[in-house]
Amino acid sequence: MQVLVIPMNPEFFPEMALLLAGIFAGAVALRLLFARQPGRALRLGTLGLILITLAFLLGKSGRVHSPYGAGVSARRTGNVATGK
């Protein structure tokens, strides 16, 4: 059995933390909704959506992250295409 390993650039750890926090906040909001506390559930659900949106916006932003990954893949593609 082979283990799936996904390489991850460490500069994306803040976005991963925001995404996980948003998912956790959404789960707690659902629990509060089922516990009949709609006010607290709405506030926490809104916070979860904001955190998830912020994670995606920061992850896609070119200002926050270096173009390291794009340059490496372009070089690899160029080496394969030229045979060098």
What's the pLDDT at 14? 83
Yes or no: say if 29 and 48 are a contact pair by the CB < 8 Å rule.
Answer: yes
Whole-angstrom distance, CA of residue 38 vs CA of residue 15? 28
CA angle, 65 then 7 then 63, to 5°: 5
| Structure tokens, 8 | 């991850």
pLDDT tens string, the chain, 84 residues long: the values are 677 666 666 777 888 888 899 999 999 999 989 989 889 999 999 999 999 999 888 877 766 665 555 544 444 445 455 555
| Structure token digits, residue 32 | 């509060």
CA distances to 5, 12, 59, 68 from 63, rounded to whole Å, are 28, 13, 10, 13
